[in-house]
Amino acid sequence: MRKPDYNRRVVVTGLGVVSPIGNDKDAVWASLTAGHSGIGAITHFDTTPYEHKAGGEVHDFDITQWWNFKDARRTESTVHFAVASAQMALRDSGLEITDENRYDIGVIYGSGGGGQGLFIANQETWHTKGVRAVSPFFIANGLVDAASGTIAIETGAKGFNYCPVSACSTGTQAIGEAAEIIRRGDCTAVICGAAESPLLELVHIGFTNMRGLGSPVPGQSLSTVSRPFDRTRDGFVLGEGAGAMILEDLELAKARGATIYAEIVGYGASADGFDMIAPAPHGEGAARAMKNSLERRGVPADEVDMLNPHGTSTPMGDKCESEAIWTAFGDNTPNILISATKSMTGHMMGAAGAFEGVATVLSVYHQAVPGTINYVEPDPECNINIATETVQKPIRYAMSNNIGLGGHNSAVIFKRYTGD
């Protein structure tokens, strides 16, 4: 453990992702810049009885590429996605975990719901096959912290280990907290991110009854369900997957010749303290999180060039977030290009901020802002600058926002790394 140094610079050196639009960073970037949608018909369960049919499912994913089958079969897809994304990010970073450094490498990896599928499946097993058929492994592997624990076991990282759980803000807070842990000297590097597998029949029913799920544009395909900030938006669509990053002390990353994708320079969080579902009026809580992320390390609001918003495609949520952006950025708001990637992936719940953090880092690294698909009719109540096609442009700072059920708000800021 080193002494705290809140001027310590923290950088992103590795990226891993499992998602409806690709299962590695290059595939995801290609999909984002091409405007490729990963939304289609749900196949995980029979949607015949239900009004809403769409989901963002992960395809062509094989956990045995990243984890041995014997251990993987005891758990479910949330942990599968988590382990794969973490191993992918480690491989991408070139960071080797050894006996000499393993106690300085942490894991901050979260989930909104964890292994809900295991609990549902074992409940059904109990009722249909009896007590002795219930798996002795389901509790440990179904807990929300199963991902962070398993990643440590599989990678050998024995430093600070924590599982943030803050609904849809989880992934963003995992990234922000990981940076703070490095600055305060608890670790020199952290594997951080979040995973989620919410495409379960019971979860689908719950969100349907909450009136949260959206419908496609009449006469068009299911890929049009998620249309953030569009005037016709009527709800979100569930997606699954994971995102992971390797964060490191800049000096150590430079010493080993690591690729540096971006520097993380801002992190802010807040609570609405208002309602478990509805956002605070005018996005007041989200605006505070954004302002906190700007002020924490003195990021100039007028130098933020792009923003990946929460942008779920709900009528009230998108309106309140638009107001929050105006509150946080004032006159610079029209100059910030908005890239709402949920239009392509759906809402990955606890994993949303982790995936969108990866997407934002890729934007900073490639100096390009992916367009938002399905944005056809501007909403005067969402008066922000939505990118509708990929734009190549200088990006100095980029922000990623997320807003969670329960009133959890968080924002992280990434800066282009130029070697200075």
> Whose CA is closest to 345, among 367, 324, 369, 370?
370
Contact of 192 with 410, CB cutoff 8 Å: no
Choose the catalytic residue: 80, 163, 168, 382. 168
User: How would you write the chain as a 3-class SS string?
Assistant: CCCCCCCCCEEEEEEEEEECCECCHHHHHHHHHHCCCCCEECCCCCCCCCCCCEEECCCCCCHHHCCCHHHHCCCCHHHHHHHHHHHHHHHHHCCCCCCCCHHHEEEEEECCCCCHHHHHHHHHHHHHHCHHHCCCCHHHHHCCCHHHHHHHHHHCCCCCEECCCCHHHHHHHHHHHHHHHHHCCCCCEEEEEEEECCCCHHHHHHHHHCCCECCCCCCCCHHHCCCCCECCCCCECEECEEEEEEEEEHHHHHHCCCCCCEEEEEEEEEECCCCCCCCCHHHHHHHHHHHHHHHHCCCCHHHEEEEECCCCCCHHHHHHHHHHHHHHHHHHHHHCEECCCHHHHCECHHHHHHHHHHHHHHHHHHCEECCCCCCCCECCCCCCCECCCCEECCCCEEEEEEEECCCEEEEEEEECCCCC
Q: Is 52 a catalytic residue?
A: no
Q: Is 168 a catalytic residue?
A: yes
Q: Is 44 a catalytic residue?
A: no
Dihedral (Cα; 61, 64, 67, 73), 10-degree rounding: 90
Residues whose CB is less than 8 angstroms from the CB of residue 419 and which lie 6 or more positions away in sequence, other chains included? none
Choose the catalytic residue: 52, 80, 310, 408. 310
Choose the catalytic residue: 52, 80, 204, 347. 347
Which residues form the catalytic set?
168, 310, 347
